[in-house]
Amino acid sequence: MEKITPRTQNYSQWYQDIVEHAGLAEHSDVRGCMVIKPYGYAIWEGMQQQLDRMFKETGHQNAYFPLFIPKSFLSKEAAHVEGFAKECAIVTHYRLRNAPDGRGVEVDPEARLEEELVVRPTSETIIWNTFRNWIKSWRDLPLLINQWANVVRWEMRTRLFLRTAEFLWQEGHTAHATREEAIEEAERMLEVYARFAEDWMAMPVIKGLKTPSERFAGAEETYCIEALMQDGKALQAGTSHFLGQNFAKAFDVKFAAPDGTLQYVWATSWGVSTRLMGALILTHSDDNGLVLPPRLAPVQVVAIPIYRSEEERQTTCAQVERIVQNLRAAGIRAQTDTRDTHKPGWKFSEHEVRGVPLRVAVGPRDIQNGTAELARRDTLTKTLVPVDTLITHIPQILDEIQDHLLQRARQRLQDGITRVDSWAEFCDVLEKKGGFLSAHWDGTAETEARIKELTKATIRCIPLNNPPEEGTCVLTGRPSKQRVLFARAY
């Protein structure tokens, strides 16, 4: 197996190597589009299942809306079209024909659409156009809908999972009778995302608000969760938008209130995507490969026999089979690797690269002694344990791994936030340490843009429950009422 580039040598290549060697995804021959490989897709399925459960527990229902959005729909909300028109795939024709020169096929010029269709970059417009018919009275509210779908945003520079032209995501779209209820919903779903990130991905996040210039195109307020990667760069892991009445007005969606008046509906939308796969990889992995939190690992335990003779093969294989059957009966995702085509060392490193949280190895001596060797992927430590304690030990160790990954990432996040009070300090910390810079900002878009231009750092968020604090802007020295978090970001 090829070596993974160490993080210190080339961080970006390290990421690419892990995605490739762990068999998670690859670039396709279609510009900007990825292929999600079976192992990567299995992790994504685990994420989907848990998120879907959390959405349903909070009262949401799944539905499905068209892939295509008529160009005119996109134009109805001014800020929205401004944000998405520049990066979309446009369907203009509906038929190919044989090329006159007999070489392949070409677009049939007679099959031009009257109105071009945009491949959805996000579905607010088509969904609110539909909601108009679904919402008549306050009794129809709240309307709590989620969609699992593919979306396309034409990106010029792509990175697997982190930024691709096509990606998979879920988009929640909800309609409410009052501003307060909509804001509550946007905050509730932000909380769901934060809980998912912490409890399942073992990835602590900072919950906050975007500044006006970083808001979703068409939103009145954008909430976000921001995580910190190992290289000191921030990653936006999910957003939840309070859309006000913008889309209701653009698509004329009104409801009859209990008092008989007709009012515009209040909206939210919120989404997470296959980008979470990138966040998961960047948060926990090491120079040996992928590291997965047990709750999201498609295989939590792999059991490998070690043998030379045929007799040894039989006894060790039988033993690992028994172990795996017991673990499965206890609800653990365990599997054997009894392939005769590879040596144990090769298998060890393959499962290590793929981030299997726990490895059990059984050799002839273990058979004699009634033991097994346990190896943890997160700490790379090995212990010899009595084989009959595995069934009680392993669930505990999986919990420990899940917890350890979270604590380690939490520590990194805590250590990664630096209070800076001058421009020199800002630049110095950004260069030497990275991470989040908690700094005063004068609140203007100009200063925000200038800082980005000078340093590539952006305001990641204004943390929720941010304490008010008098200060002066790190760049302009103008007065400021609170600190915000800056960082360079993915």
Q: Nearer Cβ to a copy of itself, position 60 or 284?
A: 60
Near a copy of itself by CB under 8 A, which window of 122-130, 214-222, 362-370, 464-472? Answer: 122-130
Question: Which residues inside 325-384 make contact with a copy of itself, applying CB under 8 A?
Answer: 341
Q: Does 70 bind a copy of itself (CB under 8 A)?
A: yes
Q: Virtual CA dihedral for 334, 337, 343, 347, nearest 10 degrees?
A: -40
One-letter amino acid of 440:
H
Q: How far is the CB of 86 from a copy of itself (least distance, A)?
A: 6
Q: Nearer Cβ to a copy of itself, position 101 or 470?
A: 101
Q: Do 239 and 216 meet the contact criterion of CB atoms below 8 Å apart?
A: yes
3-class DSSP state of 137:
strand
Q: How far is the CB of 289 from a copy of itself (least distance, A)?
A: 20
CA pseudo-torsion sign 187, 192, 198, 202: negative
Instruction: Return the half-sphere exposure (C-beta side, CA atoms, 13 A cut-off) of residue 477.
Output: 1
One-letter amino acid of 54:
M
Q: Nearer Cβ to a copy of itself, position 47 or 485?
A: 47
Q: Virtual CA dihedral for 42, 48, 50, 55, nearest 10 degrees?
A: -170
- Site for a copy of itself (CB under 8 A): how many residues? 64
Q: Does 101 bind a copy of itself (CB under 8 A)?
A: no
Q: How far is the CB of 272 from a copy of itself (least distance, A)?
A: 16
Q: Does 145 bind a copy of itself (CB under 8 A)?
A: yes
**Residue 463: closest CA among 206, 124, 83, 148:** 206
Member of 65, 196, 307, 441 binding a copy of itself (CB under 8 A): 65
Burial class (CB in 10 A: 0-12, 13-18, 19+), 294: buried
DSSP symbol at 67: S
Member of 119, 303, 406, 461 binding a copy of itself (CB under 8 A): 119
CA pseudo-torsion sign 108, 109, 113, 119: positive
Q: Nearer Cβ to a copy of itself, position 152 or 353?
A: 152
- Alpha-helical runs (H) found in 85-226: 124-134, 179-199
* Helix orientation angle between 38-57 and 275-284, rounded to the nearest 10 degrees: 110
Member of 117, 217, 219, 301 binding a copy of itself (CB under 8 A): 117
Q: How far is the CB of 165 from a copy of itself (least distance, A)?
A: 8
For residue 417, the cross-strand partners are 436
**How far apart are alpha carbons 437 and 226 in whole angstroms?**
13
Q: Does 90 bind a copy of itself (CB under 8 A)?
A: yes
Q: Does 89 bind a copy of itself (CB under 8 A)?
A: yes
Member of 1, 12, 13, 35 binding a copy of itself (CB under 8 A): 35
**Residue 182: closest CA among 128, 131, 141, 121:** 141
3-class DSSP state of 289:
strand
Q: How far is the CB of 347 from a copy of itself (least distance, A)?
A: 15
Place of tokens 């009859």: 256
Q: Nearer Cβ to a copy of itself, position 117 or 430?
A: 117
Question: Which residues inside 149-178 make contact with a copy of itself, applying CB under 8 A?
Answer: 149-150, 152, 154, 166, 168
Q: How far is the CB of 217 from a copy of itself (least distance, A)?
A: 13
Near a copy of itself by CB under 8 A, which window of 14-22, 124-132, 188-196, 473-481? Answer: 124-132
Q: How far is the CB of 27 from a copy of itself (least distance, A)?
A: 10
Q: How far is the CB of 70 from a copy of itself (least distance, A)?
A: 6
DSSP string, 263-277: EEPEEEEEEEETHHH
**Residue 242: closest CA among 151, 176, 196:** 176
Q: Does 237 bind a copy of itself (CB under 8 A)?
A: no
Q: Do 14 and 287 meet the contact criterion of CB atoms below 8 Å apart?
A: yes
Q: Virtual CA dihedral for 403, 406, 408, 409, nearest 10 degrees?
A: 170
Q: How far is the CB of 137 from a copy of itself (least distance, A)?
A: 10
Member of 12, 13, 92, 414 binding a copy of itself (CB under 8 A): 92
Please give the C-alpha separations between residue 410 and each of 206, 365, 415, in angstroms, as whole numbers: 11, 40, 9
Member of 29, 101, 340, 453 binding a copy of itself (CB under 8 A): 29
Q: How far is the CB of 127 from a copy of itself (least distance, A)?
A: 9
Member of 1, 30, 424, 445 binding a copy of itself (CB under 8 A): 30
**How far apart are alpha carbons 365 and 355 in whole angstroms?**
27
Q: How far is the CB of 134 from a copy of itself (least distance, A)?
A: 8
Q: Does 79 bind a copy of itself (CB under 8 A)?
A: no
Member of 5, 6, 20, 42 binding a copy of itself (CB under 8 A): 42
Q: Nearer Cβ to a copy of itself, position 62 or 379?
A: 62
199: phi then psi, degrees, rounded to nearest 5 = -75, -30
DSSP symbol at 239: E
Q: How far is the CB of 453 from a copy of itself (least distance, A)?
A: 24
Q: How far is the CB of 6 from a copy of itself (least distance, A)?
A: 26
- Residues lying near a copy of itself in the complex (CB under 8 A): 26, 28-30, 33-38, 41-42, 45, 61-75, 81, 85-98, 104-107, 116-119, 126, 129-130, 133, 139, 145, 149-150, 152, 154, 166, 168, 341
